[in-house]
């Protein structure tokens, strides 16, 4: 029995080593053959980005519209939810618990017409389903907070639509999502000032998965932008948002190492897309931004943000952004392989609930980069829990190959913005 177990273990280790080697070769090949040609210029990117929402939604928002926005997000789950509070205790959510959350939404304070205010996010902060820091899990052993919609990054402009009863939470709108954020992480400003900041052309963009401001050590993510004051041999001097005691916006100087950023967005090229993507390899998986990381849709969102391209937040929204994409859901695996042969590296591939970045073919095998909890192959389950490069024939828990489940191929290009 020991010999059998040892043989199985050897095969698993050998298989993992072969896969790692093949993936490394595929990565190297993709970078060697990637094009430096510009795919879209700023004008074309602006057209693409117009598919997202404008946070300038006017001076007021009506009662019905505001309630509809809140009610479309803050929904009581039909499934069981186990709640973890600050004291780490775990209990099953019941009617009493949800009633307390609903009370904190503060429906009674919604007027017939409600003034829309504007602001800027100050620090990496969770965007929640409900106005609470409680975490909700589908079962007692789950690690994914079902109350976490996304994570907002520093310097993100927002529209502020409503305040919770305890005055600790704001219901906000950003360019690709809505939800509840902690008021302490928001500085208020006028839309005119916010508009000047949004349209500022002298800025730096963070080009690393993680970066930190010198001295203040503020955590930053790829795609964050900051107004640039000057550059020296070691760091960029930028404006960092802060808030006064009355929650109004002001700025202090911040210092970001030059190796962590670029003046203006990176040119949108195939080589830059792949180079930015490979910086994330082995970064831990982070559902909705948990533990300081990101999930599959946030991964591709941040890669493209470093080149000034904005994507929707969730995979089902991203999948339908382009007016022209390739639906492959009804194709056979053989037809999908043939279609992949024409797909440029750096394109997005979608399946139900998951998005991947196509990195190309190596030795007649097609590879993808994606952020995943894990997958199956001939040797069982691989609990990756990170950004990884795999072949397209890995399998899901039902035994289906990923390629058989592919639904859409999307190449963000000039053609897609016509």
Q: How far is CA 384 from the centre of its chain?
A: 19
* Triad 235, 241, 247: Cα angle to 5°: 160
Contacts of 99 (CB under 8 A, 6+ apart): none
| Cα-based distances in Å from 163 to 63, 116, 176, 182 | 14, 11, 20, 10
SS (H, E, C) 298-345: HHHHHHHHCCCCCCCCCHHHHHCCCCCCEECCCCCHHHHHHHHCCCCC
Return the pLDDT at 2: 44
Return the pLDDT at 235: 96
| pLDDT tens digit at each of 418 positions of the chain | 444 334 333 333 334 443 554 688 999 999 999 999 999 999 999 999 999 999 998 899 999 999 999 999 999 999 999 999 887 789 999 999 999 999 999 999 999 999 999 999 999 999 999 999 999 999 999 999 999 999 999 999 999 999 999 999 999 999 999 999 999 999 999 999 999 999 999 999 999 999 999 888 889 999 999 999 999 999 999 999 999 999 999 999 999 999 999 999 999 999 999 999 999 999 999 999 999 999 999 999 999 999 999 999 999 999 999 877 899 999 999 999 999 999 999 999 999 999 999 999 999 999 999 999 999 988 889 999 999 999 999 999 999 999 999 999 999 998 644 4
DSSP class of residue 58 equals -
Give yes or no for a contact between 51 and 309, defined as CB atoms under 8 angstroms apart. no
Dihedral pair phi/psi, residue 39, rounded to 5°: -85, -45
As a whole number of angstroms, the distance between CA 68 and CA 40 comes to 37
- Name which of 314, 344, 365 is nearest 412 in CA terms: 344
Return the pLDDT at 85: 83
User: Which bin fits 247, alpha (ψ -120 to 50), beta or left (φ > 0)?
Assistant: left
Burial tier of 31 (Cβ tally within 10 Å: 0-12, 13-18, 19+): middle
Return the pLDDT at 414: 82
Return the pLDDT at 185: 98
Contacts of 161 (CB under 8 A, 6+ apart): 61, 66, 69, 114, 116, 170, 171, 172, 173, 178
Other beta carbons within 10 Å of 317? 15
SS3 259: helix
Max Cα–Cα distance, the chain, nearest Å? 75
Q: How far is CA 365 from the centre of its chain?
A: 28
The β-bridge partners of 290 are: none
Contacts of 404 (CB under 8 A, 6+ apart): 333, 336
As a whole number of angstroms, the distance between CA 100 and CA 416 comes to 46
The two three-digit tokens of residue 134, written as one number: 């409680």
Give yes or no for a contact between 231 and 263, defined as CB atoms under 8 angstroms apart. yes
As a whole number of angstroms, the distance between CA 364 and CA 417 comes to 31
As a whole number of angstroms, the distance between CA 355 and CA 304 comes to 13
Q: Which domains occur in the chain, in start order?
A: 11-40+267-417 (3.90.1720.10), 60-196 (2.30.30.40), 202-263 (2.30.30.40)
Return the pLDDT at 14: 37
The β-bridge partners of 186 are: 121
As a whole number of angstroms, the distance between CA 65 and CA 76 comes to 20
Give yes or no for a contact between 182 and 167, defined as CB atoms under 8 angstroms apart. no
Give yes or no for a contact between 412 and 40, defined as CB atoms under 8 angstroms apart. yes
Burial tier of 115 (Cβ tally within 10 Å: 0-12, 13-18, 19+): exposed
DSSP class of residue 288 equals G
Q: The tokens 């503020």 sit on which residue?
A: 218
| Kind plus residue range of the DSSP H or E element containing 157 | strand 157-163
SS (H, E, C) 66-96: HHHHHHHHCCCCCCCCEEECCCCCEEECCHH
Q: Tell me the helices (H) and strands (E) count for the chain, helix number first.
A: 10, 29
Return the pLDDT at 19: 53
Burial tier of 327 (Cβ tally within 10 Å: 0-12, 13-18, 19+): exposed
Q: How many CA atoms lie within 13 A of 206 on its CB side?
A: 23
């Amino acid at each position: 029995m020991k010999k059998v177990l040892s043989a199985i273990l050897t095969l698993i280790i050998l298989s993992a080593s072969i896969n790692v080697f093949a993936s490394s070769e595929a990565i190297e090949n993709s970078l060697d053959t990637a094009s430096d040609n510009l795919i879209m210029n700023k004008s074309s990117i602006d057209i693409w980005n117009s598919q997202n929402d404008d946070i300038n939604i006017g001076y007021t928002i009506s009662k019905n519209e505001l309630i509809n926005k809140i009610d479309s997000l803050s929904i009581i789950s039909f499934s069981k939810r186990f709640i973890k509070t600050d004291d780490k205790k775990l209990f099953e959510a019941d009617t009493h618990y949800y009633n307390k959350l609903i009370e904190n939404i503060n429906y009674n304070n919604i007027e017939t017409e409600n003034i829309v205010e504007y602001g800027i996010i100050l620090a990496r902060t969770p965007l929640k389903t409900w106005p609470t820091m409680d975490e909700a899990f589908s079962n007692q052993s789950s690690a994914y907070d079902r109350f976490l919609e996304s994570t907002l990054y520093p310097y993100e402009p927002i529209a502020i639509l409503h305040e919770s009863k305890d005055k600790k939470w704001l219901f906000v709108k950003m360019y690709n999502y809505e939800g509840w954020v902690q008021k302490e992480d928001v500085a208020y400003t006028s839309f005119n000032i916010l508009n000047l900041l949004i349209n500022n052309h002298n800025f730096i963009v963070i080009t690393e998965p993680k970066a930190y401001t010198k001295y203040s050590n503020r955590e930053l993510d790829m795609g964050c932008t900051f107004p640039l004051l000057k550059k020296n041999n070691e760091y960029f001097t930028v404006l960092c948002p802060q808030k006064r005691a009355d929650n109004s916006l002001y700025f202090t100087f911040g210092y970001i190492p030059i190796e962590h950023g670029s003046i203006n967005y990176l040119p949108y090229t195939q080589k830059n897309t792949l180079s930015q993507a490979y910086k994330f390899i082995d970064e831990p998986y982070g559902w909705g931004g948990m533990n300081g990381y990101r999930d599959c849709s946030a991964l591709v969102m941040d890669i493209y943000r470093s080149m000034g391209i904005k994507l929707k937040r969730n995979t089902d929204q991203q999948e339908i952004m382009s007016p022209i994409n390739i639906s492959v859901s009804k194709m056979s695996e053989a037809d999908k392989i043939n279609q992949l042969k024409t797909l440029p590296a750096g394109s997005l591939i979608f399946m139900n609930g998951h998005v991947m970045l196509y990195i190309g073919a190596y030795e007649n095998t097609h590879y993808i980069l994606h952020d995943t909890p894990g997958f199956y192959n001939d040797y069982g389950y691989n609990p990756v829990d990170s950004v990884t490069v795999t072949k397209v024939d890995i399998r899901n828990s039902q035994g289906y190959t990923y390629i058989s489940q592919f639904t859409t191929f999307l190449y963000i290009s000039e053609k897609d913005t016509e």
